[in-house]
Structure 1
Amino acid sequence: MVAARTARVLVVDDDPTVSDVVRRYLQRDGMDVRLAADGPAALVEFAEYRPDLVVLDLMLPGMDGIEVCRRMRAGADVAVIMLTALGEESDRVLGLSTGADDYVTKPFSPRELALRVRSVLRRSYRPDEGPTRLVDGDLVVDVAARTATLGGAVLALTVREFDLLAFLMRHPGRAYRRAELLEEVWGWTFGDHSTVTVHVRRLREKVEPDSSAPNRIVTVWGVGYRYEPAVP
């Protein structure tokens, strides 16, 4: 979690019962929690509170969660966990494509959500062991500072995109199955493999000259993905 201070979490849901239960579980874990019941209120709270993580319902009055996520991600590097309807895979993929770092389907276990929140925060602020500066040609990842640049330009990466890129760069030439990446990067021993697929696609759009013909994050058919350094 955030070093030397309490993690700040903004919970955005128009169901007061859901919000209250989530708040109590997160507060029990020592987090500082604020609530918002609709999209516009969420953006106001976000600007004032500057949370470390946002738990964001996809379906909100006033402005849907997708638009709220876009606006938050445009102004700051904040972790987002999206709440989506059970079985709506298209909504989950859309949320991840917008910049959400994780998702939980409704109805959900508050305990599971609290675990997901801790996992995202832990990986956001406690870099994994290993080299703290990764360099592949014009792509430079500073793990300690959690910054990535390509050709000197700063890359706007979500928490999970950064973690995935750093992990792959630390293990060049090795093919990883999606299930392995879920466990290594997300900390999940089970989950929807489309989560990995969406994040790989977004990463390619940011680090590849041509995302339709990637030469860094390559697909290993029948297996998963492998990182191929641009510079041997």
Structure 2
Amino acid sequence: MHTLLLVDDDTRLLQMLQAFLTQEGFCVLIATDGAQALTMVTEFAPALLVLDYMMPGLNGIEVLALLRQRHAVPVLMLTARHDDADRIKGLDMGADDYLAKPFNARELVARIRAILRRTQTRQALTQHLALGDLRLFAEQTTAYWQSTPLALTHTEYRLLEILVRQVGYVVSKDEMALYALKRSLTVFDRSIDVHIGRLRTKLDEVAVGCLSIRTVRAQGYQLLLLPA
């Protein structure tokens, strides 16, 4: 369940939106001024802010400017003003979307969900494992040595991933088979050995002398990051 923080000095609107968004499956917090909102962002780490432009004290633009100094939380701004310059200013300062008052509550929900989808996609694309100059991106099942992409099959990627996650430790062939092949090994099954051989060759093309997949007899394989 995503947590939203609604920020507006109109308490009646806040209560209506809180009730509606709760029915839509969100956990909804409310703040009635900018200072309270900044404190709550730090305390509760909401997934998204719905922030009013016009508020007494710190207005929405000022809150957004302070927010962007420390937080990357997505922000959807609300405004009763229809001046394009205000909308452009908010977007330039880091707002993710804008919605003019009065608005349809269902459109607000649709925009919130669209922002959350984009945010989750960006996070997934940037999440990676790192070992020295090796980078693994799980969402795309791709790997890079420095800036060079490794032409790995899906199985080779999965084998490299489990070795990186347990770098320095011996990973058994049975564990590797379950992780990469989604099955157990059978008697005389050398499929893991074959895939590891191909993976070694591809790593040696770009990272020779830097990474080594060591065979541990009767146990499995061990990935080592070699000293420079």
Q: State the TM-score bracket (shorter-chain normalisation).
A: 0.5 to 0.7
Paired residues of 1:54 and 1:78 also in contact (CA < 8 A): yes
Structure 2: gaps spanning 5 or more residues: 129-134, 141-228
Structure having the higher Rg: 2
Q: Please, which of 44, 58, 71 is the counterpart of residue 66 of structure 2? A: 71
After superposition, the Cα gap between the structure-2 partners of 1:144 and 1:88, relative to the gap in structure 1 and judged at 3 Å, is farther
Offset at residue 18 of structure 1 (A): 1.2
Aligned to 1:29: 24
Matches within 5 A, 1:4-83: 6-83=1-78
Offset at residue 144 of structure 1 (A): 4.9
Aligned to 1:122: 117
Matches within 5 A, 1:143-222: 144=139
Name the CA distance, whole Å, in 1 between partners of 2:127 and 2:31. 37
Structure 1 residue 91 and structure 2 residue 86: aligned? Answer: yes
Offset at residue 15 of structure 1 (A): 0.3
Paired residues of 1:132 and 1:143 also in contact (CA < 8 A): yes
Paired residues of 2:125 and 2:139 also in contact (CA < 8 A): no
Aligned to 1:104: 99
Offset at residue 85 of structure 1 (A): 2.2
Name the CA distance, whole Å, in 2 between partners of 1:129 and 1:45. 26
Offset at residue 24 of structure 1 (A): 1.7
Structure 2 letter corresponding to 1:65: G
Structure 2 letter corresponding to 1:110: A
Offset at residue 65 of structure 1 (A): 0.6
TM-score of the superposition, structure 1-length normalised? 0.52
Aligned to 2:159: none
After superposition, give the CA deviation of every residue in 1:111-154 in whole Å (9 maximum; x if it has no partner): 11111101111221146999999xxxxxx9x7959xxxxxxxxx
Paired residues of 1:10 and 1:33 also in contact (CA < 8 A): yes
Offset at residue 93 of structure 1 (A): 0.6
Task: Determine which structure has greater relative contact order: mean sequence separation of CA pairs < 8 Å that are 6+ residues apart, divided by chain length.
Answer: 1
Q: RMSD value over aligned CA atoms?
A: 3.0
Offset at residue 87 of structure 1 (A): 1.8
Structure 2 letter corresponding to 1:106: K
After superposition, the Cα gap between the structure-2 partners of 1:128 and 1:69, relative to the gap in structure 1 and judged at 3 Å, is closer
Structure 1: gaps spanning 5 or more residues: 1-5, 134-139, 146-232
Name the CA distance, whole Å, in 2 between partners of 1:40 and 1:127. 29
Q: Identity rate of aligned residues, in percent?
A: 40
Name the CA distance, whole Å, in 2 between partners of 1:71 and 1:26. 26
After superposition, the Cα gap between the structure-2 partners of 1:24 and 1:144, relative to the gap in structure 1 and judged at 3 Å, is farther
Deviant stretches of 4+, over 4 Å: 127-133, 142-145
SS in 1 for 2:55: coil
Name the CA distance, whole Å, in 2 between partners of 1:57 and 1:89. 16
After superposition, the Cα gap between the structure-2 partners of 1:144 and 1:51, relative to the gap in structure 1 and judged at 3 Å, is farther
Structure 2 letter corresponding to 1:24: A
